[in-house]
Amino acid sequence: SQQGEEDPQALSIQEGENATMNCSYKTSINNLQWYRQNSGRGLVHLILIRSNEREKHSGRLRVTLDTSKKSSSLLITASRAADTASYFCATDNGSEKLVFGKGMKLTVNP
C-alpha cells in the first residue's frame, strides 16, 4: 500500500530558484527519508529525519517533519540544472520495509 504521497507531481523551475516538495503519509512513522533518482538509474539517499526531529539540513537541502500533520517537506535552495531528477519520500512505519511514494519530477531549466 502507498504510504507517502509527494506533491506536486511535477515541478519546473529556473536555475537559482528554490524548489519545495511535499510528502504526506498516513500512519505513524519511525523515520522518513528522501531519495533522488536520475533517469534510468537507482535511487540515491539524500537525507533521513527521525520522528522526534523537526528539521534537518544537508548542504542545500532542508527537510522538515510535522508529525501532527503527517507531512514532510524537502527544500532545495539555489537549484542547479544537475538537480533535475525524480524525488521520492519513503517512510519507515515499523514494518520491516521502507514504503516509497510515487515520486515527484523536478526539472531545473538552465
Contacts with another protein by CB under 8 A lie at 2, 30-31, 33, 35, 41-45, 48, 88, 92, 95-103
End-to-end CA separation in angstroms for the chain? 37
Output 14 or 27, the one with its CB closest to another protein.
27
- Residue 93 has which C-alpha cell? 512505519
- The answer to whether residues 104 and 22 touch, using CB atoms and an 8 Å cutoff, is no
Output 15 or 105, the one with its CB closest to another protein.
105
Output 14 or 28, the one with its CB closest to another protein.
28
Round to whole Å and give the CA distance between 92 and 110. Answer: 35
Give least dist CB 16 to another protein, A: 28
